[in-house]
């Protein structure tokens, strides 16, 4: 009985998370440009989507950007979380404050601030300006998630490791990192999601030659979401779903 | 190795293609087909970046040390502002052999009165829509009619301070570009009385809200009504007899454009009658290109929602830049209105 | 120097350089803008002034702030109530499927939030999916007017922010030692006592992390309330955006952000003061 209750709670939340996706997949077959009600079945939007080469180029750009941003942000964020948790150093409170600053500051302010900063640095707007921006706004999320995880580690473990003669690097590698691993996995996935969906910051730091998907999607939604976008999102969703579930299944077989 | 190859491939946007043009336009405002044809004809690679409001476009161009965009597509009141601030290149019309195709009505308009800094591309008006299944469109002829108590909780208003205040100012008999703060205050009081009738403020989502009858009467751009006409014939567009705002989106070359020669080629291409007609048909908005207008499909040419007769059009006024001080007054009342 | 500190030096340097440049550097620019003026032709110009801060002493901004705080606060509470049991169950799920379940929480967020929000609009419309289903099942007889209401805004916000609550909670609860619960049970503690005296206190850092990640972004989010709530109200996010974009008043927008940051900074500081006292031992 109790298990049933638990399972149905989990199922209900998953339904809540997936219902809009199911709806948008349905709408991607909807034979209407300007309505969110059902007007009949069509494959028109998928045809349009596969002919829209610019969109695919933008999607490729976003994929690369998201992967790099997620990996680098997770590395820097993990270093930050460990340093803030484990060490005492000059300016520690300032670093702590900067992490919160990045969460508090509205996207538009961060975007404009980075644009002003890039002006000062004479950095051309394009791939790198986007990458630095994305890494920056992902870092605080990584730090918060990993700090939440670190706080559960029993500090006596470090003392024990030290007594046994472990160097600091060994402690990090052998004790902290394995414990952090699930958190790092979550942080990577979340960072990628943040990068792949960011409009406001990217808007201000992108250049003419490097168009990315969220900007294109946002601009295309100007006159209401085109069903073509629903088709695009359905494709992205299915690809990620299969890739993710597939990798999980594969991973389990090996193990 | 493979990675490097992929990386360079993805970064290749930055590389080569000796002839380039960077355009920065309203999303989806120039059909991809038209741009590809230009690329094919001239060998110039066109990079497209898009924006969703004049304000964001302006903020980015103004703030970036060098935005590297060549062509932009601001609305009339932003042409005025940007030309005044020296951000736009004065156009040499001799380099535009198709310039004569333009409708004389749109040459030297009030917002760009001397040497042209802009070429009008598409234009439209802000008027009233009514869904015939719910309300009789015949009963509505002016902005003032929207204040009727029977429309309680029904109205769609555009989520734009200037548009909404223009409506109230026109209803009061003032100019939509009024800068007198007493008049703006009056407009605010009038709008405060309208708030109970408002169901939703929207811009982007407006076509689907209107189409799905989530709002059944309100403010709208004429092109939106024209576009949804195929799917929902119950929506009527009304030109308010107390006046209305005309806006246009205008092509302009930025002062520090890196590829000016290509920009002129592109402008001249867009001024061709057949190209102008294609753009107009794609967007469902009127073209300012008279030669282009004449080659549009007949039913669009003769559609009074898109191309109103001169007797109607004379009640329209261009939306103008009012300057930041007056804008601040509008914005403040706008905030109060939303907080009511 | 001791080789032991190489790692410490490396990691502190990398983090300080990055955050120093891209967070502190950028924010110092915002602070300096907030003390400047603007003119009709220039977004930022001299002279140096305090006028932007003086302008903030205005009831209308206080009202907007309180409204945003209320909305963000209720959204945080809702997310916590929905997310905590979920994260707990997830953390207790069999090892085999745990990662897959977690992955399934994040996957929806890899598709555009804007497009997903439009899908929520399609669900909630007067003639939308929810109403159609409920009407045809005979559960209701009149279509529910959900779209463009506060309920719709809350649904949209919670939907978009729930993972930010679930993920830190999960990361924290996953390490939770179930033996503690068993021990307490053996000692005769009731389920309620176990929950309030053991589980919740131990997961407090996770709860706080989740609340911060939900509350702070919710304060300045605006396009979800605009789309689902019909833009009938004005929130902090709208206000700041308005200053930077339509009003061309960057100094005022900057001042607004500085004050907002300072205020939330104080909130966080107060929390930290009271929470970190217990674990201040064993630093290298």
| CA dist., res. A27 & res. B64, Å (int) | 39
Reported as a pLDDT band with limits 50, 70 and 90, residue C2 is low
| CA dist., res. B33 & res. C147, Å (int) | 37
Tell me what the mean pLDDT of segment B283-303 comes to. Answer: 94
Residue A64 contacts C where some CB pair is shorter than 8 Å: no
User: Which among A60, A218, A224 has the least Cβ separation from residue B10?
Assistant: A60
pLDDT of A1 reads 64
Q: Residue C133 phi/psi, 5° resolution? A: -65, -50
pLDDT of A148 reads 76
The reply to whether residue B339 touches residue C233, judged by beta carbons under 8 angstroms, is: yes
| CA dist., res. C247 & res. C270, Å (int) | 35
User: Which among B24, B60, B208 has the least Cβ separation from residue A224?
Assistant: B208
Nearest chain B residue (CA) to C118: B205
Q: Record the tokens describing residue C222, joined without a space.
A: 């605006």
CA distance A163 to chain C (A): 13
Tell me what the mean pLDDT of segment A7-11 comes to. Answer: 94
Tell me what the mean pLDDT of segment A71-90 comes to. Answer: 92
Query: pLDDT averaged over chain A?
Result: 88
User: How remote is the C-alpha of A48 from its chain's centroid?
Assistant: 28
Q: Is the peptide bond between B309 and the residue preceding it cis, with omega within 30 degrees of 0?
A: no
pLDDT single digits (tens) A223-253: 677 888 899 999 989 998 888 888 777 766 6
User: Which among C7, C112, C169 has the least Cβ separation from residue A168?
Assistant: C7
Sign of CA dihedral C143, B157, B159, A224: positive
Residue C71 contacts B where some CB pair is shorter than 8 Å: no
* Sequence spans of domains, chain C: 58-278
* Sequence spans of domains, chain B: 2-122+248-306, 124-246+317-339
Q: Record the tokens describing residue A142, joined without a space.
A: 């990584």
| CA dist., res. C51 & res. C255, Å (int) | 10
> In terms of DSSP H, where are the helices of B85-205?
161-171, 181-194
pLDDT single digits (tens) B182-212: 999 999 999 999 999 999 999 888 999 999 9
| CA dist., res. A101 & res. B208, Å (int) | 38
CATH 3.40.449.10 fits C58-278, yes or no: no
The reply to whether residue C176 touches residue A152, judged by beta carbons under 8 angstroms, is: yes
| CA dist., res. B220 & res. A27, Å (int) | 25
Q: Does C29 score more than 90 pLDDT? A: yes
Strands (E), C117-211: none
Q: What is the value of ipTM here, to two decimals?
A: 0.88
The reply to whether residue A23 touches residue C163, judged by beta carbons under 8 angstroms, is: no
Tell me what the mean pLDDT of segment A12-37 comes to. Answer: 92
pLDDT single digits (tens) A169-216: 888 888 888 888 888 988 998 899 999 999 889 999 998 889 899 988
CA distances from C112 to A107, A121, A234 (A): 16, 31, 10
CA distance A178 to chain B (A): 28
The reply to whether residue B335 touches residue C234, judged by beta carbons under 8 angstroms, is: yes
The answer to whether residues B168 and B183 touch, using CB atoms and an 8 Å cutoff, is: no
Residues B124-246+317-339, CATH architecture:
3-Layer(aba) Sandwich (3.40)
| CA dist., res. A240 & res. A6, Å (int) | 27
CA distance A153 to chain C (A): 8
SS3 content of chain C, % helix, strand, coil (to 5): 75, 0, 25
| CA dist., res. C159 & res. C144, Å (int) | 20
pLDDT of B246 reads 94
The answer to whether residues C146 and C152 touch, using CB atoms and an 8 Å cutoff, is: yes
The lowest-confidence range among A14-18, B61-65, C32-36, C128-132 is B61-65
Q: Which helix (H) or strand (E) holds A184?
A: helix A177-197
Q: Which helix (H) or strand (E) holds B85?
A: none
Q: Which helix (H) or strand (E) holds B142?
A: none
pLDDT single digits (tens) C168-210: 899 888 877 778 888 888 888 888 888 888 888 888 888 988 9
Instruction: Report chain B residues whose CB lies below 8 A from the CB of A115.
Output: 60, 63-64
- Angle B139-B140-B146 (CA atoms, 0-180°, nearest 5)? 125
Nearest chain A residue (CA) to B27: A219
| Number of neighbours of residue B339 by Cβ within 10 angstroms | 14
The lowest-confidence range among A168-172, B179-183, B217-221 is A168-172
Residue C227 contacts B where some CB pair is shorter than 8 Å: yes
User: Which among B199, B208, B324 has the least Cβ separation from residue C230?
Assistant: B199
Residues B2-122+248-306, CATH architecture:
3-Layer(aba) Sandwich (3.40)
The reply to whether residue A18 touches residue C108, judged by beta carbons under 8 angstroms, is: yes
pTM of the entire predicted model: 0.89
The reply to whether residue B212 touches residue C125, judged by beta carbons under 8 angstroms, is: yes
Residue B248: beta bridge partners? B123
| CA dist., res. A126 & res. B299, Å (int) | 44
The answer to whether residues B195 and B337 touch, using CB atoms and an 8 Å cutoff, is: yes
User: Which among C127, C233, C246 has the least Cβ separation from residue B212?
Assistant: C127
Instruction: Report chain C residues whose CB lies below 8 A from the CB of A240.
Output: 107, 110-111
Reported as a pLDDT band with limits 50, 70 and 90, residue C6 is confident
Residue A235 contacts C where some CB pair is shorter than 8 Å: no
The reply to whether residue A100 touches residue C29, judged by beta carbons under 8 angstroms, is: no
CA distance B200 to chain C (A): 4
pLDDT of C253 reads 92
User: Which among A13, A82, A168 has the least Cβ separation from residue C86?
Assistant: A13
The reply to whether residue B48 touches residue A211, judged by beta carbons under 8 angstroms, is: yes
| CA dist., res. B92 & res. B72, Å (int) | 17
| CA dist., res. B29 & res. A19, Å (int) | 32
Domains in chain A (CATH in brackets) are 47-240 (1.10.3720.10)
Tell me what the mean pLDDT of segment C61-82 comes to. Answer: 94
Instruction: Report chain A residues whose CB lies below 8 A from the CB of B51.
Output: 203, 219
| CA dist., res. A24 & res. A17, Å (int) | 13
A190-214 burial, b if ≥16 CB within 10 A, otherwise e? bbbbbbbbbbbbbbbbbbbbbbbbb
The reply to whether residue A36 touches residue C122, judged by beta carbons under 8 angstroms, is: yes
pLDDT of B13 reads 47
CA distance B251 to chain A (A): 17
Nearest chain B residue (CA) to C148: B200
CA distances from A6 to C88, C100, C210 (A): 10, 17, 22
| Number of neighbours of residue B294 by Cβ within 10 angstroms | 11
Q: Does residue C96 come out as left (phi exceeding 0), alpha (psi in the -120 to 50 range) or beta?
A: alpha
Q: Does C272 score more than 80 pLDDT? A: no
Residues 68-87, chain B: which have Cβ within 8 Å of C? Answer: 84-85
Instruction: Report chain C residues whose CB lies below 8 A from the CB of A237.
Output: 107-108, 110-111
């Amino acid at each position: 009985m109790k298990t049933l209750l638990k399972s149905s709670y989990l199922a209900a939340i998953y339904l809540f998370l997936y219902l809009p996706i199911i709806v948008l997949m349905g709408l991607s077959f909807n034979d209407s440009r300007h309505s969110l009600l059902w007007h009949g079945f069509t494959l028109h939007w998928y045809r349009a989507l596969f002919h829209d080469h610019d969109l695919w180029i933008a999607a490729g750009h976003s994929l690369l950007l998201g992967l790099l941003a997620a990996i680098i942000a997770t590395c820097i964020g993990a270093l930050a979380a460990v340093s803030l948790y484990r060490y005492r150093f000059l300016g520690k409170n300032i670093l702590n404050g900067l992490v919160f600053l990045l969460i508090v500051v509205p996207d538009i302010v961060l975007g404009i601030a980075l644009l002003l900063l890039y002006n000062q640095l004479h950095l051309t707007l394009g791939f790198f300006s986007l990458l630095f921006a994305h890494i920056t706004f992902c870092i605080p999320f990584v730090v918060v998630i990993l700090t939440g995880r670190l706080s559960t580690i029993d500090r006596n473990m470090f003392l024990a490791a030290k007594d046994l003669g472990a160097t600091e690097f060994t402690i990090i590698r052998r004790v902290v990192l394995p414990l952090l691993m699930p958190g790092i996995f979550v942080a990577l996935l979340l960072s990628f999601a943040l990068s792949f969906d960011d409009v406001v910051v990217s808007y201000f730091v992108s250049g003419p030659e490097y168009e990315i998907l969220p900007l294109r999607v946002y601009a295309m939604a100007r006159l209401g979401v085109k069903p073509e976008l629903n088709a695009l999102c359905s494709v992205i969703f299915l690809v990620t779903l299969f890739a993710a579930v597939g990798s999980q299944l594969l991973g389990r077989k090996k193990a | 190795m493979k990675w490097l190859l992929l990386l360079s491939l993805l970064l290749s946007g930055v590389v080569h293609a000796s002839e380039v043009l960077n355009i920065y336009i309203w999303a989806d405002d120039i059909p991809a087909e038209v741009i590809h044809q230009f690329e094919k004809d001239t060998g110039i690679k066109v990079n497209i970046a898009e924006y969703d409001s004049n304000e964001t476009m302006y903020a980015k161009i103004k703030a970036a040390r060098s935005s590297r965009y060549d062509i932009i597509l601001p609305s009339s009141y932003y042409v005025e502002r940007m030309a005044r601030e020296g951000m736009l290149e004065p156009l040499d019309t001799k380099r535009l052999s198709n310039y004569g195709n333009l409708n004389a009505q749109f040459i030297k308009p009030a917002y760009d009165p001397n040497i042209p800094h802009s070429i009008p591309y598409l234009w439209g008006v802000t008027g009233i829509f009514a869904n015939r299944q719910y309300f009789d469109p015949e009963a509505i002829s002016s902005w003032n009619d929207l204040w009727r108590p029977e429309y309680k909780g029904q109205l769609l208003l555009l989520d734009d301070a200037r548009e909404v205040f223009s409506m109230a100012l026109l209803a009061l008999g003032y100019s939509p570009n009024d800068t007198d703060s007493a008049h703006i205050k009056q407009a605010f009081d009038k709008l405060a009385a309208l708030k109970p009738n408002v169901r939703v403020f929207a811009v982007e989502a407006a076509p689907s809200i209107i189409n799905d009858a989530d709002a059944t009467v309100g403010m709208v751009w004429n092109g939106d009504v024209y576009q949804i006409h195929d799917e929902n014939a119950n929506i009527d567009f009304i030109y308010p007899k107390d006046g209305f705002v005309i806006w246009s989106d205008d092509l302009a070359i930025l002062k520090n454009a890196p590829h000016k020669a290509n920009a002129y080629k592109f402008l001249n291409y867009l001024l061709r009658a057949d190209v102008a007609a294609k753009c107009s048909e794609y967007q469902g908005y009127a073209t300012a290109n008279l030669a282009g207008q004449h080659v549009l499909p007949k039913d669009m040419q003769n559609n009074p929602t898109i191309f109103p007769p001169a007797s109607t059009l004379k009640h329209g006024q261009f939306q103008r830049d009012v300057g930041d001080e007056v804008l601040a007054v509008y914005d403040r009342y706008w905030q109060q209105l939303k907080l009511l | 120097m001791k080789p032991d500190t190489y790692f410490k030096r490396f990691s502190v340097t990398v983090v300080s350089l990055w955050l120093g440049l891209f967070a502190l550097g950028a924010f110092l620019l915002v602070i300096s803008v907030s003390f400047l003026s603007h003119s009709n032709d220039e977004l930022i110009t001299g002279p140096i002034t305090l006028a932007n801060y003086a302008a903030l002493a205005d009831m209308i901004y206080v009202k907007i702030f309180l409204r945003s705080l209320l909305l963000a606060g209720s959204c945080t509470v809702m997310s916590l109530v929905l997310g905590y049991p979920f994260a707990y169950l997830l953390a207790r799920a069999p090892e085999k499927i745990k990662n897959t379940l977690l992955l399934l929480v994040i996957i929806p967020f890899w598709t555009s939030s804007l497009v997903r929000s439009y899908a929520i609009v399609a669900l909630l419309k007067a003639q939308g999916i929810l109403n159609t289903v409920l009407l045809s099942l005979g559960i209701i007889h009149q279509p529910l007017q959900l779209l463009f209401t506060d309920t719709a805004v809350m649904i949209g916000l919670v939907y978009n922010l729930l993972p930010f609550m679930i993920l830190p909670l999960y990361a924290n609860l996953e390490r939770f030692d179930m033996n503690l619960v068993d021990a307490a049970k053996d000692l005769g503690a009731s389920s309620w006592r176990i929950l309030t005296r053991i589980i919740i206190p131990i997961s407090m850092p996770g709860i706080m992390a989740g609340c911060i990640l939900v509350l702070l972004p919710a304060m300045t989010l605006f396009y979800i309330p605009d789309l689902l709530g019909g833009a009938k109200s004005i929130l902090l996010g709208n206000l700041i955006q308005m200053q930077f974009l339509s009003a061309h008043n960057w100094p005022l927008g900057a001042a607004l952000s500085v004050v907002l940051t300072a205020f939330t900074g104080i909130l966080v500081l107060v929390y930290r003061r009271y929470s970190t006292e217990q674990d201040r031992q064993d630093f290298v």
